[in-house]
Amino acid sequence: MRRTLFALLTLALLAPVALGQPKPEPAPQPADAGATVYQKVVRSTAWVHSDRGGGKLATGTGSLVDKGRRLVLTNYHVVGDVKRATVYFPEFEGREAKKTISDRKHYTDRAGKLGISGEVVELDKGADLALIRLDRIPDGVAELPLAADSPDPGQSVHSIGNPGKSGALWVYTPGKVRQVYSKKWKAKLDEKTTVSFEAKVIETDSPTNPGDSGGPLVNDKAELVGVTQGGAIDAQSISIFVDLSEVKRLLNRRAVQLLRADGAAVQPKDPVKDPPKAREKALESKDDGKFFGEAAWKKVSPAAEKLLKEKGTDFLVETYMTPPKGDADKIAAMKPADREKFFKDMVEARAKELNLQGVYVLVTKTPATLYVEISNPKDFPAGLATKLKTTLLASFKDKKFDEGLTKVIDMTLDAKGLGEKK
C-alpha cells in the first residue's frame, strides 16, 4: 500500500514533464521608460534662437504647449526683451522616421526652410517664463500635455534640452525630484544685466547646462511638470525647474486666453452692452504681512461677497512681508519713480492674471509700499483709487491699520451704493 501511494505521488510530481506540457513563458521585460518618454516629448520640443543684436545670439529650448494657438513655452531669460524669436523643431530619419536628427549643422544649413519665426506675446519676468506665438506649425509637431499636479519628491522625471557645450541637439536627461518649494534667485540675462526671479520650483538631481533653459521637464506619462531654468550656483548635482503651477498661471492670463487659434486676438466685449460675467466666488484676500487685527480682517470677506453678488464687482486685499515678485533689497534701492512703476506693473499683471474687475489693494512691509488699483474705473466715482490710497496712508501713518481697512471697505461699498444707510 505504501509503495503504491509513493508511486502515485511521484507520478503526480513528474506529470507536467512526463506529459510534455509547455514551460511557462518568461514575463516580458518592461520597455525602457526613458526611451518611450523621449520619443513622445521630443516631437514637442524646440530649439529657440533669440537675436539680441550686435551679432549676439542667445539659444535655448522650448516646448509647444498649445498647438491651436501655436504657443511655445520657454524662459524669459532665453528670449530677453526681443519682440521676435526663431524656433526649430526636430526632423527624423531611419526606419519609421523615429531617429532624431541631432546634428546642429543640419538645421543651421537649412535655417531658411526649418527656422520658424514667432512673436514673443507674453512674459512672466518674475517666474522666468515666456510664450512665443509661431507663424506656423510644421507637420508632425505635437502639443505637449500638462500634468494635473506638480511632481512629488522621489518621482522620476525626464528633460530634453539643447546644451550649448554639446555637439548634439535634443539631448535627453533623466532625474529624480528632490523637492518642490518657493525660491528666489538671480541669473544673468546678458553680460551686463542681472535679473531676479521668484517662483515655485522643482529641484532635481539631473544635470542641466546653458542651452537647456526653457526645455520641458516631464513625468513618466510624458506630461509637462516643469520648465528647465538652470543649475544652482555653488551646488553640485542640483538643477532648478520652474514648477507647473507657474506655467498654468501664465497660460491662464487673460491676454493669453484672448489669443485665437486663427492668429487674431479675440476682441474684448463692450463692457456696457455685454459686461463680463462675474465669477461665482469672491477672490480670496490674504494678510501675509500681518497688518490687520482679526476683527477688522473678518470684514473683508463679507464685503467682497456682497460686492460680487450684488454688483458683479471684485474686492481684493493682499499684504506681504516682501513683494511676491522681485528682490526686496533691490526694489527698496530704486528711485521713487522706478519703484512706483515696478509696483504698478506688478499690480496690473496680477489684476490681469485674475481677470479682476474692481478694487485691488496691495501692501508690502519691506519696502513699505501701498498701491491701489481699480481695473474698471468708469464703474466707480472719479478719483476713488486716490481717495482709498490717501485714506489708508493716513491711517497707516498713525498706526491705525484696522481703522484704515474698515474705512476703505466702507468707501468701496458706498461707491457702489451698498453702504449702510445712516
Tens digits of residue pLDDT in 7-27: 433 433 333 433 344 555 544
Q: What confidence tier does 3 reach under pLDDT thresholds 50, 70, 90?
A: very low
* Residues 75 and 219 placed together within one structural domain of the fold: yes
The answer for residues whose C-beta is within 8 angstroms of residue 415's C-beta and 6 or more apart is: 380, 381, 384
- Section 210-215 average pLDDT: 92
Instruction: Identify whether 25 is part of a domain.
Output: no
Report whether pLDDT(185) > 60: yes
CB-based contact 252:260 (threshold 8 Å): no
* Residues 43 and 117 placed together within one structural domain of the fold: yes
DSSP code at position 24: P
What pLDDT, in 10s, does the model give residues 145-171?
A: 999 999 999 999 999 999 988 889 999
Q: Domain total for the chain?
A: 2
Instruction: Select from 156, 70, 162 the least CA-distant residue to 119.
Output: 70
Instruction: Identify whether 5 is part of a domain.
Output: no
Q: In this prediction, what percent of the chain has a pLDDT beyond 70?
A: 86
The domain in which residue 223 lies consists of 31-268
CATH code, 189? 2.40.10.120
* Residues 225 and 298 placed together within one structural domain of the fold: no
* Residues 334 and 395 placed together within one structural domain of the fold: yes
DSSP codes, 129-179: EEEEEES---TT--PPPBPSS---TT-EEEEEE--TTSSBSSEEEEEEEEE
What pLDDT, in 10s, does the model give residues 281-318?
A: 899 999 988 999 999 999 999 999 999 888 889 999 99
**What is d(CA 379, CA 416) in angstroms, rounded to the nearest whole number?**
8
* Residues 184 and 305 placed together within one structural domain of the fold: no
Helix (H, G, I), strand (E, B) or coil at 364: strand
* Residues 193 and 341 placed together within one structural domain of the fold: no
Cα angle at 382 between 380 and 387, to 5 degrees?
95
The answer for residues whose C-beta is within 8 angstroms of residue 246's C-beta and 6 or more apart is: 124, 127, 129, 199, 200, 227
381's grid cell: 466715482
Task: Answer whether 0.75 is exceeded by the pTM.
Answer: no
* Residues 250 and 365 placed together within one structural domain of the fold: no
* Residues 368 and 303 placed together within one structural domain of the fold: yes
pLDDT (0 to 100) of residue 65 = 96
Report whether pLDDT(338) > 50: yes
Average pLDDT, the chain: 84
163's grid cell: 546644451
pLDDT (0 to 100) of residue 421 = 60
* Residues 229 and 303 placed together within one structural domain of the fold: no
Greatest CA separation found in the chain? 111
CB-based contact 215:45 (threshold 8 Å): yes
Report whether pLDDT(395) > 70: yes
* Residues 256 and 329 placed together within one structural domain of the fold: no
**What is d(CA 66, CA 251) in angstroms, rounded to the nearest whole number?**
9
pLDDT (0 to 100) of residue 56 = 83
**What is d(CA 366, CA 130) in angstroms, rounded to the nearest whole number?**
28
CATH code, 292? 3.10.310.50
CB-based contact 172:162 (threshold 8 Å): no
